[in-house]
Structure formats: C-alpha cells, structure tokens
C-alpha cells in the first residue's frame, strides 16, 4: 500500500508537469496581447510613440519579451513557491481575487453534495426494493424530469415558486443589502441567500445519482449471496441494508469521489441567475479578458484537484471492495 502510494505520488508529479506545459502552451497560443490591458489605450491615438514605449515596458514587466521556455520556468517557479501571479483585470494578486468566489462555490457545492446523497441513497434503496411499484414509478418519472430539464429552467421555476409566489427565499445575492451583520447573524443571512441556488443545484443532480443508486442496488439484490442471506434467516432489513447496500456502495463510492472534483467547479448558469459570486463566472471573465495569470492558476488548481480526486477514488474503492488490491 505504502509502495503503491509513493509510486502513485511520483506519477502525479509527472502528470502535473506534463499538463502544466500543455496548459501554458495553450494559454500562450491564445491570440491577443495581455500587455494592452496595462496601457492607457487613449495614448495610441494621441501619442503613438509613448504608447509604443509604454507597451514595451508593460511587456517587459510581464516578462513577455523573454523566450517561452524561460517564461514557463519562471511561472512554474513562482507557482510552486506559492506566488500565483497578478491578475491584470483586478490588479490584485490572483490568490486574493479567487478567495471569495472559491469560498462561495465550495460552500454551495459541498452543501449540495451532502443534500444530494442524503436524499438519493435512501430514496434509491427504497425504489430498488420496491421495484416497479407505484412509488418507484413516481420516483423514476420525477428523476427523468429532474435531469432532462436544463438548469436555467429549473432555476427560473424555483425563483417563481419560492421567491415570487411564496416569498420565502431572496431572489439573488449572498447577503441582504444594507445590513451589517456579524458573527452568527451573518452566517444565517448567508445560508438564507444560499438556499435557493442550493435547492436548484441539488434538484438538478438528483435524477442522475438517484438512478445510479437504484441500479446499483437492484444489481446487488439480484446476486446469489442475497438469497444465501435470506436462507440464513436474516431479516429483510439486514439483507437490504447490510448485505445488499454494502455491495451497492462499491459503485456509489466511485461517483461520490468523482464529485470531489466538481465541488470546486462553479456553475456559470446558477451563478449568473442568482448573482452568486462563484468560480464559474470568475474563470469565464478571466478568459474573456485574457487574464492569463488567473486562469492558468485556476487550471493548475483543477489539475491538482483531479489528480487527488483520482487517488482518493482508488483508495475509497479499495476500502469498499476487499477484492480490489492497490499494487
């Protein structure tokens, strides 16, 4: 196990560097000049000579005048030492810019993840046990509707229902304007604002996972060892929740860990509709404005998260299924 983890870790470092080179190359091949952002554009018409000098200076300060390999090495060295660069668009260090959206996104996704599994696992099990009953069919229809409707439709529907018709949740934002709450009150206000985007993102993920849990459970219940468990005189509850669910857990663990990565991924649609300051829009605007330091940093962050996520998945798989050995 330890040997495997060390090997795996070395492999992760290797992949990290390969991907970083690719990312860097792609970023550099994107047309457009980030230095333009740093220079007063009015100069171009009033004083072209000074404009050229200013542009050259800007390029130099960004290190754009150096050959690409050197740029890469400098960027990598900075990144590894914790300096993720300077966002041109916000004129602040990337790490400061990303802080708040990262927190908002992770808070929303983490709550959504917990909610999704808290709902789908029991519901999926009951559906599988009562396969083809009226209950199961209702759940099936609901889950199909849930995952076929696009997010924005569900979002608008929920806003209409829970913010306009029955005004229980605020329409958008992450804090009540004009208030100056502190401590618990602020947390409460934050959660209150998160409720609606949380409901929408949870609802959108329910269908797929629910079907997955149900299918895993139906497969497990069909196995020979379930018949053995019943023949031993075990109660139906023990057969379902201990023998069958423990086996259904193996595929479920795989998707739970694959969600680890998506916790950090922002949704542009939900963030835009609910004016939720998350990573989705932050990265999108960074791309639009050629804010390469910001999106390179974010891309590398996702690379690391994905690599860790895969490792976690393998370890979780190994714990869930004794037949799997990490070698």
Partner 1 sequence: MALLELRDLHTFFTTKKGIVKAVNGVSYSVDAGRTLGIVGESGSGKSVSAMSILRLLDGNGYIDSGEILFEGRDLTKATNEEMYKIRGNKISVIFQEPMTSLNPVFTVERQLNEVFLTHQKVSRKEASRRSLEMLQAVKIPNPTNVLKQYPHQLSGGMRQRVMIAMALACQPRVLIADEPTTALAVTIQAQILKLMNDLKEQNGTSILFITHDLGVINEMADDVAVMYCGQVVEMASVETIFGENPYSHPYTEGLMNSIPRLNTPTGVRLEAIPGAVPHPLDLPKGCKFAPRCKYATSRCLAEEPALYEIEDGHQIRCFYPCKADRTRDIEQMKEAQHAK
Binding site for partner 1 (CB under 8 A): 131, 223-225, 227-235, 243, 246-247, 250, 320-323
As measured in angstroms, the least distance from the Cβ of 317 to partner 1 is 12
Minimum Å gap between C-beta 243 and partner 1 is: 6
Q: Closer to partner 1 at the Cβ: 159 or 244?
A: 244
Min separation Cβ 210 and partner 1, Å: 21
Smallest separation, CB 234 to partner 1 (Å): 6
The secondary structure of the chain, three-state, reads CHHHHHHHHHHHHHHHHHHHHHHHHHHHHCCCCHHHHHCCCCHHHHCHHHHHHHHHHHHHHHCCCCCHHHHHHHHHHHHHCCCCCEECCCCEEHHHHHHHHHHHHHHHHHHHHHHHHHHHHHHHHHHHHCCCCHHHHHHHHHHHHHHHCCHHHHHHHHHHHHHHHCCCCCCCCCCCCCCCCCHHHHHHHHHHHHHHHHHHHHHHHHHHHHHHHHHHHHHHHCCHHHHHHHHCCCCHHHHHHHHHHHHHHHHHHHHHHHHHHHCCCCCHHHHHHCCCCCHHHHHHHHHHCCCHHHHHHHHHHHHHHHHHHHHHHHHHHHHHCCCCCCC
- Cβ distance to partner 1 smaller for residue 139 or 221: 221
Nearest-approach distance from CB 205 to partner 1, in angstroms: 27
In the complex, minimum distance from the CB of residue 136 to partner 1, in angstroms, rounded to a whole number: 13
The nearer residue to partner 1, 3 or 325, going by C-beta atoms, is: 325
CA 47 to chain centre: 47
C-beta closer to partner 1: residue 199 or 244: 244
Rounded least distance, CB 239 to partner 1, Å = 10
Q: Which is nearer to partner 1, 50 or 235 (CB)?
A: 235
184 vs 231 by CB, closer to partner 1: 231
Closer residue to partner 1 (CB): 57 or 236? 236
């Amino acid at each position: 196990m330890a040997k495997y983890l060390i090997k795996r870790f070395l492999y992760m470092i290797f992949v990290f560097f390969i991907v970083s080179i690719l990312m860097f190359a792609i970023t550099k091949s994107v047309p457009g000049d980030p230095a333009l952002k740093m220079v007063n554009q009015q100069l171009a018409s009033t004083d072209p000579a000074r404009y050229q000098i200013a542009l050259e200076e800007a390029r130099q300060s960004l290190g754009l005048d150096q050959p690409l390999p050197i740029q890469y090495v400098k960027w990598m060295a900075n990144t590894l030492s914790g300096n993720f660069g300077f966002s041109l668009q916000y004129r602040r260090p990337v790490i400061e810019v990303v802080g708040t959206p990262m927190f908002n996104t992770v808070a929303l996704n983490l709550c959504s993840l917990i909610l999704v599994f808290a709902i789908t696992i029991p519901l999926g099990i009951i559906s599988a046990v009562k396969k083809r009953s009226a209950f199961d069919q209702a759940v099936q229809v609901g889950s199909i509707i849930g995952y076929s409707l696009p997010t924005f439709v569900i979002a608008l529907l929920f806003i209409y229902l829970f913010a306009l018709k029955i005004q229980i949740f605020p329409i958008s934002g992450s804090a009540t304007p004009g208030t100056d709450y502190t401590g618990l009150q602020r947390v409460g206000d934050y959660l209150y604002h998160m409720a609606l985007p949380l409901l929408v993102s949870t609802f959108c993920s329910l269908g797929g996972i629910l079907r997955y849990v149900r299918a895993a459970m139906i497969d497990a219940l069909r196995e020979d060892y379930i018949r053995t468990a019943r023949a031993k005189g075990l109660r139906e509850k023990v057969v379902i929740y201990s023998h069958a669910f423990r086996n259904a857990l193996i595929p479920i663990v795989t998707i739970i860990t694959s969600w680890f990565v998506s916790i950090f991924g922002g949704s542009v649609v939900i963030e835009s509709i609910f004016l939720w300051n998350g990573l989705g829009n932050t990265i999108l605007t960074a791309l639009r404005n050629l804010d390469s330091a910001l999106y390179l940093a974010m891309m590398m962050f996702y690379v690391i998260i994905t690599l860790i996520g895969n490792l976690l998945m393998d370890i979780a798989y190994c714990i869930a299924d004794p037949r799997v050995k990490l070698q």
